[in-house]
Amino acid sequence: MALVGVLALQGSFNEHIAALRRLGVKGVEIRKPEQLETVASLIIPGGESTTMAKLAEYHNLFPALREFVKMGKPVWGTCAGLIFLANKATGQKIGGQELIGGLDCTVHRNFFGSQIRSFEAELAVPELAAKEGGPEVFRGVFIRAPAILDVGPEVKVLADYLVPSNEALDSNSAVEAQEENTGSEKKVIVAVRQRNLLATAFHPELTADTRWHSYFLKMATETGEEASSSIVAVGADLNLDQQPKIDLPIFQ
C-alpha cells in the first residue's frame, strides 16, 4: 500500500484522504516542498484554483511540484487540480494564475459557469470499467467545473460529456466549445491520462465509488515509481510537520 500525498492547501483534500482510507491506503497532507520527498504519488484536489495557486506560490511549492511531475511520479488532478496540470488554461481571472503544467491540453477554467450551474451526470467510462470492474458508467459530480477543450497526441481521453443544447454555459466557454465541434452538439473532454498524469474535471472523491482512486493507485506500479520507503499502512504514525488547515471555499 503506497503512501499517497494529497495537496492540502485548500479544497477537498479530506475527502480524497477518506476515499484512500476506504481502499486501505494512507493519504498524507502535503503543504511543504520537502514533504513531497516522502510520497510516491500525489493528488491535487478540487478547490478554488486561484487561491490554491497563491498559497502554492507562497509556500514555494511550484518548483517542487514541477519536478515531481518531471520525475514521472503519478499525479492526479481533480477539478482545480486539472487546471494546475494543464499546459494552457483559458477563462482565468484577471492576472491569470501559475500552472504546474505537464499535461498537453487546453482547459477552460470555468467552462460550466457559476456554482448554481453545478450538476451530476452519467459518464461512459469503458477503460475504467475494464480495469476496475463495475458498471460502464460513472456518476460525475461537476461543481463550477472546468472542461478540456483540446488535447495533444499523447493524451488518452477517458471520458467526455455531451453538453445539452439547452444548457446555459458561460458565453466565452460556449463559443470555444462550438469552435471545437463541427455539429450543433457540444462535446467536451472531462477525463484524460498522459503517461504518469491523470486528470478529471469532476469530483470522484465526493462519491462512494472509489474506482478512480483505485485506478490511480495502480498507476504507481505501471510507471515503476512505487518505492519501498513509501509503503505505509493505514494507522501508521507519520512525523510530518503539519500546518493548520486553511478554512477557505472548497470548489474552484
What is the tens place of the pLDDT at every residue in 103-113? Answer: 999 999 889 87
Q: How many structural domains compose the chain?
A: 1
Q: Look at residue 239 and tell me if it is in a domain.
A: no
Specify whether 105 is catalytic: no
CATH number, domain of 202, equals 3.40.50.880
Which segment, 183-192, 193-202, 216-225, is predicted with the most confidence on average?
A: 193-202
What predicted TM-score, i.e. pTM, was given to this entire model?
A: 0.83
**Residue 251 in domain:** no
C-alpha cell at 137: 458508467
238 in a structural domain = no
Any domain includes 140: yes
Contact indicator for 214, 22 with CB cutoff of 8 Å: no
Is position 144 annotated in a ligand binding site? yes
Q: Which of 105, 205, 213, 226 is catalytic?
A: 205
Q: Is 109 annotated as a binding residue?
A: yes
Instruction: Specify the 3-state DSSP secondary structure of 219.
Output: helix
Does any domain span residue 191?
A: yes
Q: Give me the pLDDT at residue 147, please.
A: 95
Domain that holds residue 50: 4-167+184-226
Choose, from 16, 203, 213, 226, the residue flagged as catalytic: 203
Kindly report, residue by residue over 61-86, the tens digit of the pLDDT.
Answer: 999 999 999 999 999 999 999 999 99
Q: Which residue out of 79, 105, 108, 226 is catalytically annotated?
A: 79
- For 124, counting Cβ atoms within 10 Å of its Cβ (0-12 exposed, 13-18 middle, 19+ buried), the class is middle
Mean pLDDT (whole number) for 205-210: 97
**Active site includes 213?**
no
- Is 41 annotated as contributing to ligand binding? no
Query: Do the annotations mark residue 48 as ligand-binding?
Result: yes
> Does residue 244 fall inside a structural domain?
no
Known catalytic residue at 154: no
